[in-house]
Amino acid sequence: MADSPDFHAAKAMLEWQIELGADEAIAEAPVNRYDTAPPAPKPAPAPTPVARPAPAAPPPPEARADEAIATARALAAAAPDLSALRAAMDRFEGCELKRGARNLVFSDGNPAARVMIIGEAPGRDEDLQGKPFVGRAGQLLDRMLDAIGMSRTADDPDSAVYITNVVVWRPPQNRDPLPAEIAMMMPFLARHVDLVGPEVIVPMGNTACQALLGRTGITRMRGKWTDVLGRPALPMFHPAYLLRNPINKREAWHDLLTLRARLRDGT
Rule CB under 6 A: say whether 137 interacts with ligand URA: yes
> Would you say the C-alpha torsion 220, 223, 142, 82 has a positive or negative sign?
negative
Q: Interface residues for ligand URA in 233-262 (CB under 6 A)? A: 240
Rounded Cα distance between 100 and 119, Å, is 20
- In DSSP terms, 203 is beta-bridged to 118
Of 118-126, 147-155, 180-188, 255-263, which segment contacts ligand URA by CB under 6 A?
118-126
Rule CB under 6 A: say whether 108 interacts with ligand URA: no
Rounded Cα distance between 52 and 248, Å, is 64
Residue 51 CB, shortest distance to ligand URA, in Å, is: 53
Of 28-36, 54-62, 134-142, 218-226, which segment contacts ligand URA by CB under 6 A?
134-142
With CB atoms as reference, the residue minimizing the distance to ligand URA is 119
In the list 94, 109, 123, 203, the residue contacting ligand URA (rule: CB under 6 A) is 123
Of 9-17, 20-28, 113-121, 143-151, which segment contacts ligand URA by CB under 6 A?
113-121
For ligand URA, what does the binding mask look like between residues 146 and 185, x meaning CB under 6 A?
-------------------x--------------------
* SS3 sequence of 4-44: CCCHHHHHHHHHHHHHHCCCCCCCCCCCCCCCCCCCCCCCC
Rule CB under 6 A: say whether 119 interacts with ligand URA: yes
Q: Cα 14–18–24 angle (5° rounding)? A: 95
Name the residue nearer to ligand URA (CB basis): 23 or 234: 234
Rounded Cα distance between 187 and 203, Å, is 16
How many residues line the site for ligand URA (CB under 6 A)?
13
Of 96-104, 135-143, 241-249, 253-261, which segment contacts ligand URA by CB under 6 A?
135-143
Cα atoms found within 13 Å of the Cα of residue 229, Cβ hemisphere only: 24
Rounded Cα distance between 148 and 222, Å, is 18
Rule CB under 6 A: say whether 121 interacts with ligand URA: yes
Rounded Cα distance between 260 and 240, Å, is 21
In the list 120, 127, 181, 255, the residue contacting ligand URA (rule: CB under 6 A) is 120
Q: CB burial class (10 A; 0-12, 13-18, 19+) of residue 98?
A: middle
In the list 94, 109, 132, 198, the residue contacting ligand URA (rule: CB under 6 A) is 132
Rounded Cα distance between 17 and 210, Å, is 106
Residues found near ligand URA in the complex (CB under 6 A): 119-123, 126, 132-133, 135, 137-138, 165, 240
